[in-house]
Structure 1
Amino acid sequence: MIDGADVMTEGSRIAAVVLAAGASTRMGTAKQLLQIDGRPLVQQVLDNVQRSVVGEIILVLGHSAEAIQQELKLEGAKVVLNENFLQGMGSSLKSGLAAIDSKVQAALIILADQPFVRPETLDQLIAEHERTRAQIVIPTYRGFRGNPVLLDRSVFPEVMGLSGDIGCRAIFGEHQDGIVKLEVGDVGILLDIDQRKDYENLRNSKSRGEREKNLLQSPDVETRTTAESGEAPPQRPELVIVGKDFMALTLARLSRLLGFTITVADPLMNLSEMPEADRVLHTLNFSLLAASHDRHVVVASRGACDEEAIEQALDVKSTYVALVANKKRGEEVLRSLRRKGVSQEALTQVKVPAGLEIGAGGPEEVALSILAEIVANRRKHLSALCNAAKGA
């Protein structure tokens, strides 16, 4: 431990562990010290936590720890040095939780690159834990999971046993009965500064405020008009993509060429950002979409809402449901859904990993393999329907 307060603030037995030890390799500089509204990024995170009812703050530093600490006003926060920060987030979780006062009942796990989470949101999570005594409280915005997550002390040992570059999400599958999801009206739980473009988009308070206003006013389903698309709305197969990474965008482009209607499920995207899309689902609720007997769903959320999206897809009787993930992650997701009560019969419909085995070597080829599997699955399904109609 480098520095810190010895006494926990009275009035709350909840701690906050702020994870700020990373090397910021994607950013190319110490992300923790990037300026947001005239303050270092991690200072804004600390200020938000200090305005909540949190009783103890643990700041975990690693890369450039001394330089970062010199720029901060700690205001009683403890600073813990994680010398093993290169081993990943698991080592920072262990260092932070180990430093928590023995009287603490639960801890918020706060990411240092999320400076826009409101103090009121932290207080809501704490109040929900006090009301339900849940093992894990997860905030959601329009049905999409966000951060920070609140952990009850009962799961600290399990989290401290994690290793590698994985977060506390790794234990969620084992605690389905102990998880409470709390819907909040704070888009900040989804906004992180992971890359330079994120920083440039969010650093200006005026443009950030306008963007948040637009997000709050956006409809649950944003649909391109017939005039915009330049074509009539025929009955076409529908592809729903949950996620917006490069593979997802490539899949949308390829599917458009084959005449699919494209729906992208994402709370932050708008139609102007993705000309291939016919609509954007801003709320993770597939029942908001028009009924379809020819719907194909690809979940590429990188863990952000894998389970929720698959469950939604199965609930609306999608023809094809696939998860973009490696086999180990896929097994974890299916196990988690099984514990939630999803039937084995339904889970056998989920393709994990997504796509035909073609030895895909990059996002473009992964997208191609997924679309090939969708086409093959669709042809098989249509043939079965045709044969059934002939036999009727």
Structure 2
Amino acid sequence: MPVVIVLAAGRGTRFRASGGTGSKLQADLYGKPVLTHVLAAVERSGLAVHVVHRACGDGMSDSIAEGVRATPTASGWLVLPGDLPLVSGESISRVAAALAHNPVVVPVFEGRKGHPVGFGRVCFEELAALSGEAGAVSVVRRHQAEGRVLQLKVDDAGILTDIDTLEDLQRLRGLVDVHGDRL
């Protein structure tokens, strides 16, 4: 069964530079920390989760590699940044299900690629060796060049709705609860 790797090791420098205080993942959104919304979506998906709070290196790639190495028996991995509080459990489940027939799955909403990006077991060595800031872009590109990436259409703007700045957080706070149990 795939494991969802939630990336929560970032420094949040853009958030603080925009006037935010503390960690964006601990910022209040509808009475709960942002990260709590993400973890609730993973729980609704029924998948196991591994949260990377600290990585050996400074970049997103380091966090992904750490999460993959910590879950070496998983059948695959869904990489989900901890700052996407509106992502749905259904989207997570659909990406995981698509991994049964595809080595890499990228969810797409209205033509835009989002998260979580799913990677099959065949990607273990590549993911475990990642380092730096680029995330797993190199793995996706390699499989894309081989025609082995599924772009999975989902009806979920939450795969794109991240919080990088205080303005992003305030925009989400201003939304009317039209997302059901996601908030």
Q: Which residue of 2 aligns with 1:192?
A: 162
Q: 5+ unaligned residues in a row in structure 1: which ranges? A: 1-12, 63-81, 213-392
Q: Pick from 152, 165, 176 the counterpart of residue 133 of structure 2.
A: 165
Q: Which residue of 2 aligns with 1:23?
A: 11
Q: How far off its partner does 1:144 sit?
A: 1.3
Task: State percent identity of aligned pairs.
Answer: 31
Q: Pick from 111, 133, 141 the counterpart of residue 109 of structure 2.
A: 141
Maintained 8 Å contact 1:88/1:166: yes
Q: How far off its partner does 1:32 sit?
A: 1.2
Aligned residues, how many? 172
* Distance across 1 between alignment mates of 2:42 and 2:141: 28
For each residue in 1:306-348, what CA deviation from the matched residue of structure 2 results, as whole angstroms up to 9, or x when unmatched? xxxxxxxxxxxxxxxxxxxxxxxxxxxxxxxxxxxxxxxxxxx
Q: What amino acid is the match of 1:98?
A: R
Q: How far off its partner does 1:178 sit?
A: 1.4
Q: Which residue of 2 aligns with 1:57?
A: 49
Q: Pick from 24, 27, 30 the counterpart of residue 37 of structure 1.
A: 30
* Distance across 1 between alignment mates of 2:53 and 2:149: 29
Q: How far off its partner does 1:101 sit?
A: 4.8
For each residue in 1:127-178, what CA deviation from the matched residue of structure 2 results, as whole angstroms up to 9, or x when unmatched? 2222xx2110000011211111001011121122222111112222211221
* Distance across 1 between alignment mates of 2:131 and 2:72: 23
For each residue in 1:190-211, what CA deviation from the matched residue of structure 2 results, as whole angstroms up to 9, or x when unmatched? 11101111010002441x63xx
Taking only aligned residues, the RMSD between alpha carbons, in angstroms, comes to: 1.5
TM-score, normalised by the number of residues in structure 2: 0.88
Maintained 8 Å contact 1:94/1:161: yes
For each residue in 1:270-302, what CA deviation from the matched residue of structure 2 results, as whole angstroms up to 9, or x when unmatched? xxxxxxxxxxxxxxxxxxxxxxxxxxxxxxxxx
Q: 5+ unaligned residues in a row in structure 2: which ranges? A: 17-21
* Distance across 2 between alignment mates of 1:90 and 1:173: 14
Maintained 8 Å contact 1:90/1:160: no
Is 2:66 the partner of 1:95?
yes
For each residue in 1:62-113, what CA deviation from the matched residue of structure 2 results, as whole angstroms up to 9, or x when unmatched? 2xxxxxxxxxxxxxxxxxxx2x34x2111111110011151x2111101001
* Distance across 2 between alignment mates of 1:105 and 1:153: 5
Q: Which residue of 1 aligns with 2:95?
A: 125
* Distance across 2 between alignment mates of 1:113 and 1:197: 14
* Distance across 2 between alignment mates of 1:129 and 1:154: 11
Q: Which residue of 1 aligns with 2:19?
A: none
1:354-365 superposed matches below 5 A: none
Is 2:19 the partner of 1:48?
no
Q: Which has the larger radius of gyration?
A: 1
Q: Which residue of 2 aligns with 1:65?
A: none
Is 2:113 the partner of 1:155?
no
Q: What amino acid is the match of 1:46?
A: L
Is 2:98 the partner of 1:110?
no
